[in-house]
Chains A and B, each alone.
Chain A
């Protein structure tokens, strides 16, 4: 396995990531990765800052998933979220929240 070219390694990594994403199973409930992130204080603040349309979409997906899980069903295969289409919508806001918190902590330390 030593002499794989970078492109081939990239391809392999991508395939592995995609397999892992599908194995996780939340895409069968129509969820996106950022819908499932654990809500600690930083994440809660980032969610508070979401623009309204994005927040409404998130709420809809979570409610649909809760409903499906109550009925012990999953979506039909054509409605499963695809790995390529998964948008990490929360990351910019989360990064900003964490940066601000670190800035405050830096300041307190001085």
Chain B
């Protein structure tokens, strides 16, 4: 059974990477991925990526805000922006026949925004709503705190605008950020259901306004700090991590397998989570409800690996200690072949299922094209996963146990251990 053929990823002289896949679907999906995530924000412009996320519908040199909105809606398309700590992704989906129309708007938005002062100041209420919604979620709070505590620079920048910057991000700051980071050497143009030649032509003609690599981002410096946020309530969300491996390194896959050995979320609704070593160990330590999974985040030059636990306030100490000690158990070689194979299968299944639909496939092609300049077929990825040995996983666990830890927790911290007690 053959995989769909994908066009080879092309790299233009300007540095722009182009990838496409013909999926014979009536709906196309085109996107521009830019290496301009929150890690590239400078100290005086923290939060500018959050505002840029909201500013995708603003007037550009080629089209007014009104025209962008009505033009895209008139063809039944949809323009959306999402940011990770490393990438900004502008995506537009539409029916195959209307690609030209939406492509025009996409190019305008990514290369020639005007950031008119009165339009930018109208974004402030939306900014406040976004921040308020994010503050409702304890998980988001813990993850943002975790990154702020773990890194000295770059990755410590939050995805959300800090409170003191709301209303203070000027169009000048936005222009500077775009000038420095939205350069063709840091962009990838990806299309599903689009002709590769069409994308190439668009890339050559329009997406070379700012060539080169822009300002070089700094290397992420891990410092392993701790941030505790006492918010009361009955639960405790805690994350304990250590620096793991960069996405391009050989160990990255091993950390992925280790994550599934420990347990990466329930696979059966309302089940007992019997394959998760974390859950099994913690359920012996406490009868109170809890949730624990391994946390694995990989970035281009670093990564975080550890455990994320949600527990009742009283049992937080037990839950966190047992979770960390489970990783220690694996570090001591306590890893059966059955566990290893089960974890590999789960990781493979997770990846393959994620590329089943067009959003997941688009993400996979886009991130690979942007970071490595090439796309690995699912077969190549599954082979890479299969090649992980028991030793690799044990070494990954050892790296966690011996590495400097970083911790973030929030909730009712009456019985939550400090980082030096773990």
Q: What is A's interface to B at a CB cutoff of 8 Å?
A: 48-49, 51, 100, 103-104, 107
- Interface 9-mer from B63-71, B222-230, B300-308, B382-390: B63-71
Check if B117 sits within 8 Å of A107, measured CB to CB: no
On chain A, the residues within 8 Å of B116 by CB distance are 49
Check if B118 sits within 8 Å of A49, measured CB to CB: yes
On chain A, the residues within 8 Å of B70 by CB distance are 107
Apart from A48-B118, A100-B64, A107-B67, list 11 A-B contacts with CB within 8 A: A49-B116, A49-B117, A49-B118, A51-B117, A100-B66, A103-B64, A103-B66, A103-B67, A104-B66, A107-B66, A107-B70
CA gap between A100 and B70 in the complex, in Å:
13
- Near A by CB (< 8 A), chain B positions 39-77 give 64, 66-67, 70
Q: Is the interface of A mostly helix, strand, loop or mixed?
A: helix
List the count of A-B residue pairs having beta carbons below 8 Å apart: 14
Q: What is B's interface to A at a CB cutoff of 8 Å?
A: 64, 66-67, 70, 116-118
CA gap between A104 and B70 in the complex, in Å:
10
CB closest residue in chain B, given A99:
B64
On chain A, the residues within 8 Å of B118 by CB distance are 48-49
CB closest residue in chain B, given A45:
B118
On chain B, the residues within 8 Å of A100 by CB distance are 64, 66
On chain B, the residues within 8 Å of A104 by CB distance are 66
Q: How far is the CB of A102 from chain B (nearest CB, A)?
A: 11
On chain B, the residues within 8 Å of A48 by CB distance are 118
CA gap between A69 and B116 in the complex, in Å:
37
In the complex, 14 of the A-B residue pairs with CB atoms within 8 angstroms, ordered by the A residue number, are A48-B118, A49-B116, A49-B117, A49-B118, A51-B117, A100-B64, A100-B66, A103-B64, A103-B66, A103-B67, A104-B66, A107-B66, A107-B67, A107-B70
On chain B, the residues within 8 Å of A51 by CB distance are 117
Q: How far is the CB of B158 from chain A (nearest CB, A)?
A: 30
CA gap between A32 and B285 in the complex, in Å:
80
CA gap between A100 and B116 in the complex, in Å:
14
CA gap between A104 and B65 in the complex, in Å:
11
CA gap between A13 and B328 in the complex, in Å:
91
CB closest residue in chain A, given B59:
A100
CB closest residue in chain A, given B71:
A107
CA gap between A74 and B64 in the complex, in Å:
44
CA gap between A103 and B69 in the complex, in Å:
13
On chain B, the residues within 8 Å of A49 by CB distance are 116-118
Top 9 closest pairs, chain A to chain B, by CB: A49-B118, A107-B70, A100-B64, A104-B66, A103-B66, A103-B64, A103-B67, A100-B66, A48-B118
